[in-house]
Structure 1
Amino acid sequence: MAETKREIERKYESDESGLPDLTGVAGVETVLDKGVMELDATYYDTADERLAASSITLRRRTGGSDAGWHLKFPVAQGVRDEIQAPLSDTLPDEFAGLLRSRVRNAELLPVVRLSSARDVRELLDTEGRLLAEISEDAVQAERLLGGDGSAQWTEIEVELADGGDPAFLDKVEKRLRKAGVRPSKSASKLARALAETAPKRPDPGPLEDPVTAADHVLAYVRAQRDAIVETDPAVRQDAEDSVHSMRVATRRMRSTFKSYGKVLDRAVTDPIGDELKWLAGELGVDRDREVLNERLRTALDEVPHTLVSGPIAERLSRWAGDKPGGASARLIGVLDSHRYLALLDAVDALLADPPLSKAAGKQPGKVLTKAVRKDFGKVTALIEQALDLEPGTDRDIAIHEARKKTKRTRYAAEAAHPALGKPAKELVKSMKALQNLLGEHQDSVMARQTLRELSAVAHAAGESAFTYGVLYGREERRAELVEAALPKEWETIEQAMGV
């Protein structure tokens, strides 16, 4: 079974003079010599090094106390989440799943072998607790794929103990700098090995800034593609907010295709949009019920106990399908499906060879502004329609449609922001506020629908339906407050937009 831990470490250049004396580091009582261990690691990647491009490392290592398979995902500079699995001859199935959004149908091959002699010291406090581990590694690198180069170097690595204070690493670094040790230019051993053993290739030069309307739209689409791919492993591990993040990225991309149909050919983007809608729907199956369950449970907690009649909490649990943590088998099946991987391939193909329309090559100012204004106009019409309707089902539907168009306008403005600057930024802010207000109304509509259904089931089972009515009344009041606040909120937005 794979285990995950947060790895916080820093790397430094070494002149092979050995580890500096660290007894003077604040908080360190003992420096314990753990001796030298021999490590042998083979790193895997696709032939085009997709994992390395995302700063992901996959290795099979022997030697040391943690021999086995190691998979590392970047979190921040010097911080990675490391997943470990026991030593085996083949890649663990869990690792294959976590890498699927990047690897897809490509083969994982050995790319680099690193052999290291690691001289280890443990830094302990006055009570003998481990603060950090510092090692000097004499590394030999051998390219296994895409060349036959080799390299060798010596580096110092400082890894914070599990649960330790990252500020302690600053104290260690201060002592190392006094000893003449400087931070490494490479983020990892693998990155250095790939750089120093790769065949010489032409320098592609810096990336060009967006110029045309299409440049800006494609940059936004690319960012959403990256968000989907990068969030995939987190969804599989049931990380907090990961499903929501992936779902938002799919919606942003699909919305962008619709808003900028004058830039990217809808004949190509619409089928991809349909698949994005499918993916968002699959992601929402568990997510929507989870959010609604949290809302109803919170509301129930706020009801005085004298007004709670019947097994409400138990019935909510059964309705929500409460289960232990972990992504559902259904959702992992979606992420493993051919349909999902084909969607990712289709987006990659679109970005590699964009289906540009007539306006694509024009200056972004007019093209993007026109698209954003068109979306804002649709929001205006729907808000005015909703405000003209009497409270009830028709108004609920109009407000829900206005919410969807508000999100679309927000995403269109996000894509246009780098080109249009402050006006687009202000529109994003206004649309986000409006989206939150309208979202509260829609959540109330869905909560009331669910309460009606649960009440009917409870009544049929001979249980009291009184508390469902209390909750329903409170949700109805929340919707009324939104509807009362909407005219003023919309007036504020129109004034800000100069309408």
Structure 2
Amino acid sequence: MEKVVERESKWEVDGVFTLPALDNLAPDSRVEKTSVELTSTYFDTPERDLLAHNLTLRRREGADESGWQLKVPHPKGRTELHAPISEELPPELVELVTGAALGKRLQAVTTIHTLRDRHRVLGPDGELIVEVDDDIVDTTPADSGSIAWREIEVELGPQIDAVPAALADSLAKAGARRSEFPSKLSRVLPAQPGLDTDTDVERAIYEYLTAQIDVIFAGDVGLRRGQDPIHDTRVATRRLRSTLRVFGKLLNRSAIGVVEDDLKWYARLLGDVRDCHVQRRRLADQVHKLPPELVLGPIAARIDTTILARQAPSRNALTEAMDSTRYLKLLATLHAWQSHPPFDRRLHRRELLKGARKAARKADHRLTTGLFNQRRASLHRARKAAKRARYAAELLEPAVKRKQAKPNIKYYKKIQRVLGDYNDGIVSSRFLRRTATTAGTTADENGFTFGLLYANEIHAADKARRKAAEIAANRYS
């Protein structure tokens, strides 16, 4: 499937606007001008679920751009995925938006016609510097009358990071202004307005919830594309679940009860895959650090093969779950929360502070217990409590003075990270011990190097535990 990164900006102009000269944007540049007529039919659910997550799926006809195009968010703009022109929706593109569409059927929602004067500014080597399109647009949404406008669209070449200052200045002097609409579709089908919250407390919870939900939906598309957004998606899932636990008394319990269980289920599926990734990288690095003469036998291959044998079924289980009714219902609920969060009464700042403080006290108590008895289970509980305290402080930050929340965020993040190192060391040491017993009875292999790695992991875990104790002891010093 062909893909390109699209980086463009829109400019509002009137009917008498004259495009300024473009041949002076770069030394020895030249301008190629062509005129094309484009017809784009956009597909979405009746509720515009794709548009809500900044996804657009369209069938375009005209000149050299005929085909299906799916645009998905990208840090530098949007990634445009292409499929050949056809009468039916391409199954490979439909699959990518199954989660965002909440499993609903897609239908045509509007058709946009564009008469485009295309100006491609090329450098002396023929590489595109910038494309400036003068568009006259006419569109007929499925549920309203026709609207028309004119706009300038500026698309950057692969080596350009921003609209050239000379171009921006000349457009502004000619009467163009930056458009409030990031795309033609957003002008025709405006996004639904966000929640109008009454208090800083409600806004803090709402914005934190919706930020995690956005990451989960972006992760859904990434996973379906075969990418690896598992870490970010897992963290967002945990942040969301932690918020429901810590501040559950402020929310509608009947609305969040099932969601908590479903988030736990989904986080576990993500974790099964993510833990394999982490362990593979960690142990590959540890083997690489050993002197070559101490690496006896196919150690790296044995470790990699063993972990992959566990990772493949975990990834398959995740893929299967993402097409399940349970998962799609979870996404539907989360999507609904973005416009109707699970508030059933007016929230107050003191309640938010109380929840965050309670989470911090529990984290401190569990850390003290874990450092005292040095049991892995206790330290694991301490790590989870530290996460909840950190996430609660993150949520709290916009609603209180920054200096009140920042120290807790920093402290519990350190504790979480160091106890994570401790847990990784313990998990890896147990894996190495199991693997060594197999290697010790296999021809051309032995357990010597596994023993060295095991000792190193035990040492790393003990070092992390002592570091956690040091951080806790120095907190108020």
Distance of 1:95 and 1:12 partners within structure 2: 30
- The amino acid that maps onto 2:395 is A
Q: Decide which of 118, 121, 124 is 2:119's aligned counterpart.
A: 121
Q: Deviations over 1:134-187 (max 9, x none)?
A: 2222222122x222x1122222222223x3222463343234334444333422
Partner SS state of residue 65, structure 2: coil
Percent identity between the two aligned chains: 35
Check the 8 A contact 1:399/1:438 in 2, yes or no. Answer: yes
Counterpart residue number, 1:91: 89
Q: Does 1:102 align with 2:134?
A: no
Q: Deviation of residue 322 (structure 1)?
A: 8.4
Going from structure 1 to structure 2, the CA distance change for 1:168 and 1:53 (only over 3 Å counts) comes to closer
Match of 2:233 among 246, 265, 274: 246
**How far is 1:485 from its partner?**
2.0
2:78 pairs with 1:80: yes
Residue in structure 2 matched with residue 361 of structure 1 by the alignment: 346
1 CA distance for matches of 2:398 and 2:119?
Answer: 49
How has the CA–CA distance of structure 1 residues 134 and 328 changed in structure 2, closer, same or farther, with 3 Å as cutoff?
farther
SS at match of 1:36: strand
The CA deviation at 1:79 is 1.8
Partner of 1:482 in structure 2?
A: 464
SS in structure 1 opposite 2:380?
helix
The structure-2 alpha-carbon separation of the partners of 1:189 and 1:351, relative to structure 1 and needing over 3 Å to count, comes to: closer
Which residue number in structure 2 is paired with residue 380 of structure 1?
Answer: 364
Asked whether the 8 Å contact 2:18–2:174 carries over to 1, the reply is: no
Report the 3-state secondary structure (helix = DSSP H, G, I; strand = E; otherwise coil) of the residue aligned with 1:406. Answer: helix
- Name the aligned partner's letter for residue 225 of structure 2: Q
Contact kept in structure 1, 2:418 and 2:465, CA below 8 Å: no
Could you tell me which of 367, 377, 396 is aligned with 1:416? 396
Say whether the 8 Å CA contact 1:231–1:246 is kept in structure 2.
Answer: yes
User: What TM-score results when the alignment is normalised by the length of structure 2?
Assistant: 0.90
CA drift at 1:350: 6.2
Looking at structure 2, the residues matched to 182 and 415 of structure 1 have their Cα atoms a distance apart, in angstroms, of 36
Query: Partner amino acid for 2:125?
Result: E
Correspondence for 2:431 among 443, 450, 464: 450
The equivalent position to 2:146 in structure 1, one of 144, 150, 165, is 150
Distance 1:253 1:127, change over 3 A: closer
How far did 1:70 drift?
A: 1.0
Give the match's secondary structure for 1:69.
strand
| Partner amino acid, structure 2, of 1:396 | R
Corresponding residue number in structure 2 for 1:308: 295
Find the counterpart in structure 2 of residue 60 from structure 1.
59
Structure 2 CA distance for aligned equivalents of residues 28 and 473 of structure 1:
64
Query: Match for 1:427: what amino acid?
Result: N
Correspondence list, 1:335-354, <5 A: 335-348=322-335
SS at match of 1:27: coil
* CA distance 1:192–1:405, change in 2 (3 Å): same
Matched, 1:177 2:181: no
Contact 2:425 2:458 in 1 (8 A): yes
SS at match of 1:239: coil
Q: Is the 8 A contact 1:257 1:266 kept in 2?
A: no
SS across alignment from 2:474: helix
Match of 1:131 in 2: 129
User: Which segment is superposed worse, 170-179 or 257-266?
Assistant: 170-179
Letter in 2 for 1:13: E
Partner of 1:465: 447
d(CA) in 1 for partners of 2:422 and 2:73?
38
Distance 1:286 1:231 in 2: 14
The equivalent residue for 2:409 is 428
Distance 2:110 2:84 in 1: 20
1:39 aligns with 38
2:380–2:423: 8 Å Cα contact kept in structure 1? yes
SS in 2 for 1:128: coil
Structure 1-normalised TM-score? Answer: 0.86
Deviates more, 1:423-432 or 1:221-230: 221-230
242-251 or 411-420: bigger deviation: 411-420
Q: CA deviation at 1:314?
A: 1.1
Q: Give, in angstroms, the shift of residue 93 of structure 1.
A: 1.8
Q: For residue 31 of structure 2, give the secondary structure of its aligned residue in structure 1.
A: strand
Q: 1:88 to 1:332 in 2, by over 3 A?
A: farther
Paired positions, count: 473
- Structure 1: which 5+ runs fail to align? none
SS in 2 for 1:295: helix
Q: Please tell me the residue identity of whatever aligns with 1:280.
A: A
Judged with a 3 Å threshold, the aligned counterparts in structure 2 of structure 1 residues 10 and 219 are, in CA distance, closer, same or farther, namely closer
Is the 2:19–2:171 contact (alpha carbons within 8 Å) kept by the matching residues of 1?
Answer: no
Q: 1:168 to 1:227 in 2, by over 3 A?
A: closer
When the two chains are superposed, the root-mean-square deviation of aligned CA atoms in Å is 2.8
Cα distance in structure 2, aligned partners of 1:130 and 1:353: 45
Deviations 1:307-355 (A, max 9, x none): 1110011112212328999x95543322221110111233456677666
